[in-house]
Amino acid sequence: MNEYIWKIKHFRWKHEYSVKIVLFILFSALYFLLYINMTSISLNFHNFNSLFEDDLQFYSFYVGQGESSLVISGDTAILYDTGTKEYAENLCDELDAILRANGISEIDHLILSHPHTDHTGGAEKVLSRFKVQNIYRSKVLSPFEEYVDGYAVTSDLDYIDVIDAIYEENANIFFIEPCVVDIGDAIIQFWTPQDVTYSDENELSPIVTIEAFGKTIMLTGDATGDTEMEFLEVLGEDELSVDILKVSHHGSDTASSSAFLEKIHPFLAVISAGIDNTYNFPAEEVVDRLYEAGVNEIFVTKNEGTIGLSLLSSSYREANCFIFHDDALMLTLYFLIFFMIMAVKFPRKKRYCLNYKNKLC
């Protein structure tokens, strides 16, 4: 009799265990799908999908106290800087989600403005995750490269690693020079300072304008006030009408002079700055100068996270959100739910039966 009862209990235990295993497998599959698409889900939840069908899109990624911007013109992707190493994985996840949503499989143009790690820290990760067609680098050489007269030589190990990673790619590599690049739907123009002393590497940052679909986007890296003055000298009597200005040097008061802003007439301004950054960027004086110059709206990544803008004929669309990936937290949550599933006790109905001696079992 005991053996008979044991068999019934053992059967129930096996049945309950099998149900839990099936539930765990289903949960794991769902969890995996959610995990690999978490960035896309987050972006769509925050209305980024409203931008994806537009011809000209601009994104400023939240990469801490760093800088990384993406311009999509038609089916061409232009990435200016790659942010900090700390946020490289986040940057790549967001890049991947946005490019895939636009049906784009590679980065056409990667511009690395100057050798500071808050601008190039994510370059190795980007180059390992994406195929890049054209790379533009500043005139700063590794000690292991052949010396070029007039170029600087870096001793920064992080940037030396970036240079090595660049040349591991099957890409066209250019040193940044004043030039115009016609890419069909858009024109990229590089404005670079000529009197560089290399005492301040920020001076290496090119001012880049991208003209497409009747609109102009200006990217400035960490361009200094001196760079702006040189730019104005080259511009002469001409003026620009800039639809989106990526404000230089995280909104530092070392740039974005009133004279510069009055010449380019920015409509929208975007500033990259980290939450609780020790420099207290953006500077209040810069924000005031932007509004005085007629800027319609200022977006700051430390307040809004990753920022997306699309330019229409007479207006614009905007979306923003913070997206943080914490793999340790996600793994902890995964195992917590696993143990909760295994600890579940399924309710059983009371059943009465008679054994072979007509006694209750």
pLDDT at 360: 47
Provide the pLDDT for residue 158: 95
The pLDDT, as a whole number, for residue 346 is: 59
Q: Which residues contact 292 (CB under 8 A, 6 or more apart)?
A: 258, 261
Residue 152 zone, left/alpha/beta (φ > 0; ψ -120 to 50; rest): beta
Closest C-alpha among 273, 276, 251, 272 to residue 261: 251
Residue 6, burial from CB neighbour count under 10 angstroms (0-12, 13-18, 19+):
exposed
CA distance 168 to 147: 20
Mean pLDDT of 168-197: 90
pLDDT at 204 over 80: yes
Strand 107-112 and strand 132-137: the pairing is parallel
3-state secondary structure 245-276: EECHHHHCCCCCCHHHHHHHCCCEEEECCCCC
* Mean per-residue pLDDT over the chain, rounded: 87
Nearest to 361 by CA among 120, 6, 11, 68: 6
Closest CA to 113 of 69, 62, 157, 148: 69
| Domain assignments of the chain as residue spans, ordered by start | 1-36+326-361, 37-321
68 Cβ contact list (under 8 Å, min separation 6): 60, 61, 79, 80, 81, 82, 83, 91, 119, 122, 272
Task: Average the pLDDT over each of 45-59, 180-194, 197-211, 291-305 and give the range with the smallest value.
Answer: 197-211
In the predicted structure, residue 356 carries a pLDDT above the cut 80: no
**CATH number for the domain running over 37-321:** 3.60.15.10
Q: Residue 252 has what pLDDT?
A: 96
CA torsion through residues 271, 274, 309, 97, sign: positive
Q: State the DSSP H helix or E strand holding residue 56, giving kind and residue range, or none if neither.
A: strand 56-60
Structure tokens at 57: 């899109």
Query: Strand 69-73's sheet: what is its strand order?
Result: 172-175, 132-137, 107-112, 76-80, 69-73, 56-60, 306-311, 316-321
CA atoms lying within 13 Å on the CB side of residue 226:
13
Q: What is the pLDDT of residues 246-275, one digit of tens each?
A: 999 999 999 999 999 999 999 999 999 999
Question: Does position 309 have pLDDT exceeding 80, yes or no?
Answer: yes
At residue 52, the 3 state secondary structure works out as coil
Instruction: Cis check for the bond before 347: say yes or no (omega within 30 of 0).
Output: no
Tens-place pLDDT, residues 214-244 = 999 999 999 999 899 999 999 898 999 999 9
DSSP state of 354: B
Residue 256 has, within 13 A of its CA and on its CB side, a CA count of 31
Describe the crossing of helices 327-343 and 2-36 by its angle, rounded to 10 degrees.
160
pTM for the model stands at 0.84
What's the pLDDT tens digit per position in 12-68? 545 566 766 776 677 667 666 665 567 878 888 889 999 998 999 999 999 999 999
Backbone angles phi, psi at 101, to 5 degrees: -65, -25
Question: d(Cα 247, Cα 159) in Å, to the nearest integer?
Answer: 24
325 CA to centre of own chain: 13
Structure tokens of 109?
């143009």
Give the DSSP H or E segment for 219.
strand 215-219
Residue 187's closest CA among 210, 207, 167, 205? Answer: 210
Please say whether the beta carbons of 121 and 82 come within 8 A.
Answer: yes
> What percent of the chain shows pLDDT beyond 70?
81
Q: What's the pLDDT tens digit per position in 90-105?
A: 999 999 999 999 999 9
**What pLDDT is stored for residue 75 in this prediction?**
94
pLDDT of residue 11: 47
Cα distance between residue 80 and residue 51, in whole Å:
19
